[in-house]
Structure 1
Amino acid sequence: MTKISSKTVLITGGASGIGKLMGRQVLDRGGTLVIWDIDKFNLQHVLSEFKDIGEVYGYTIDIANTTWVQEIAKQVEEEIGPIDILINNAGIVFGGYFHENSLQQVDKTIKINAIAPMQLALIFLPGMLKRKQGHICNITSSAGLVANPKMAVYAGSKWAITGWSDSLRLEMKYLKTGIGVTTVTPYYINTGMFNGVKSRIPILDQYKVSKRIIKAIENNRIYLSMPWSMRLVRLAQGLFPIWFYDWFVGRIIGVYKTMDEFKGRKL
């Protein structure tokens, strides 16, 4: 079990969506909350909302900027202390076919969704290793398991972070470090990030998702896939020919059409 009480928890993208909801649960459990977010207005609003609930700190930061990440991470450890639980939650998506993406969009997506979580782990992991305790939760996506048109760059970034996250878990287990790693692969969530998406599979409720993630951390779960049917993806990919898998997932379930009317959240 990973106890959140009296622990310091850092959540990236913690000023909105499931990041904010998880932060509230951290405070309700008696943890110290550190929020990183690029949106200064949202961050100040959340800090004001949470200040009477528990101990909370906020830092405005663009995690795509490596130098900034290093500076703020050092500032956090000097002002607050070591991070016990790291929740890599921040993410970004640009819709459209791959060839419609700009070089800047590709760069930003990979930096925020894949590189930043690795860099944050590199920064805070040494302290966890020294203390022989800690937990890293990486919120990826079902897009890290299923290829999908009009989100090629996003899927690529999530495939990268999903593979890294579970590899990190195996390393921590092999080295007997006492550090837990949880990989979360949710379907679309109703946070506004995927506005316009049409899906036959029900879109997940952000309140339920945030609760399940915190529970997964507390229970040291290795994998959390939502909905439960996402657990069958790898089995189906291994059992069936690609043409059949594409036909079933694309035409029967309709996954390959979900991004056709994507609008997303204004950045």
Structure 2
Amino acid sequence: MTKISSKLVLITGGASGIGKLMGREILKRGGRLVIWDLNKIHLQQTLNEFEELGDVYGYTVDITNTLWVKEMAKQVEDEIGPVDILINNAGIVYGGYFHENTSEKIDKTMKVNAIAPMQLALNFLAGMMNRKLGHICNITSSAGLVSNPKMAVYAGSKWAATGWSDSLRLEMKQLKTGVAVTTVTPYYINTGMFAGVKSNIPILDQHKVALKVIRAIERNKVYLSMPWSMRFVRFSQGLFPIWFYDWFVGGVIGVYKTMDDFKGRK
């Protein structure tokens, strides 16, 4: 079990969406909260909103800038203390077919969704291992398990993040470090990030997702897939021929058409 009370928790993208909701849950449990976000206005609004709930600190950080991340990680530890729990939550998505993307969009998506979580973990992991105490939670996506048209770059970044996250878990277990790793693979969430998406599978409520993630951290869950049906994705991919899987997932359930009217967050 991971106890949140009195622990220092850092959340990226913590000034909006499920990041903000998770931050509130952290403070409710007596944790100390550090928010990293690129949006200065949202960050200050969240700090003002949370200041009476507990110890909360905010930093404006571009997590795609490796040098900036390294400097800010040191600043947090110098000014506040060692990070006990890291929640890699920040994410970005561009819709459209792969050939419609630009090199800049591809580069930014990979940096935010795949590379930045690794860089953050790298900066805080040594301290966690030395203390034999820590938890890293990586919010990836069901797109890290299921291929989908019009989100090839996003899916690619989330497949990378999912594979890295669970490999890290195995390493921490093999080395007996005392550091837990939780990989979260949710379906679409109603935060506005995927505005315009139409799905036969119910879109997840952000409040419920945030609460489930915090509970998963507390219980040291290895994987948290939402909804429950996502747990059978890998099993189905291995059991059925590709043509049948595509027909069922893409045609019957309609997953392959969910991004047709995607607009995203403005």
TM-score, scaled to structure 2: 1.00
Quick one: distance in 2 between partners of 1:250 and 1:259?
12
Q: Which residue of 2 aligns with 1:55?
A: 55
Q: Which residue of 1 aligns with 2:183?
A: 183
Matches within 5 A, 1:99-118: 99-118=99-118
Quick one: distance in 2 between partners of 1:202 and 1:234?
20
Matches within 5 A, 1:247-262: 247-262=247-262
Q: Any idea what the Cα deviations from partners look like across 1:210-255, whole Å, max 9, x if unmatched? A: 0000000000000000000000100100000000000000000000
Matches within 5 A, 1:119-134: 119-134=119-134
The letter of the residue matching 1:84 is: D
Q: Which residue of 2 aligns with 1:46?
A: 46
Q: Any idea what the Cα deviations from partners look like across 1:170-210, whole Å, max 9, x if unmatched? A: 00001111110000000000000000000000000000000
The letter of the residue matching 2:216 is: A
Q: Which residue of 2 aligns with 1:143?
A: 143
Give secondary structure in 1 for the equivalent of 2:216.
helix
Give secondary structure in 2 for the equivalent of 1:143.
helix
Quick one: distance in 2 between partners of 1:250 and 1:197?
15
Give secondary structure in 1 for the equivalent of 2:107.
helix
Quick one: distance in 2 between partners of 1:56 and 1:113?
25
Q: Any idea what the Cα deviations from partners look like across 1:124-149, whole Å, max 9, x if unmatched? A: 00000000000000000000000000
Query: Does structure 1 residue 7 correspond to structure 2 residue 7?
Result: yes
The letter of the residue matching 1:127 is: G
Q: How far is the alpha carbon of 1:71 from its aligned partner?
A: 1.2
Quick one: distance in 2 between partners of 1:65 and 1:175?
30
Quick one: distance in 1 between partners of 2:74 and 2:183?
26
Q: How far is the alpha carbon of 1:67 from its aligned partner?
A: 1.2
Matches within 5 A, 1:179-218: 179-218=179-218
Give secondary structure in 1 for the equivalent of 2:234.
helix
The letter of the residue matching 1:131 is: R
Q: How far is the alpha carbon of 1:57 from its aligned partner?
A: 0.2
The letter of the residue matching 1:186 is: P
The letter of the residue matching 1:248 is: F
Identical-residue share of aligned pairs (%): 78
The letter of the residue matching 2:83 is: I
Q: Which residue of 1 aligns with 2:76?
A: 76
Give secondary structure in 2 for the equivalent of 1:3.
coil
Greater Cα shift, 251-260 or 65-74: 65-74
Give secondary structure in 2 for the equivalent of 1:163.
helix
Give secondary structure in 1 for the equivalent of 2:52.
coil
Give secondary structure in 2 for the equivalent of 1:225.
strand
Which runs of no fewer than 5 residues in structure 1 stay unpaired?
none
TM-score, scaled to structure 1: 0.99
Query: Does structure 1 residue 221 correspond to structure 2 residue 221?
Result: yes
Quick one: distance in 2 between partners of 1:145 and 1:121?
22
Matches within 5 A, 1:165-176: 165-176=165-176
Q: How far is the alpha carbon of 1:68 from its aligned partner?
A: 1.1
CA RMSD after TM alignment: 0.4
Give secondary structure in 2 for the equivalent of 1:248.
helix
Aligned positions, number: 266
The letter of the residue matching 2:64 is: A
Give secondary structure in 1 for the equivalent of 2:36.
strand
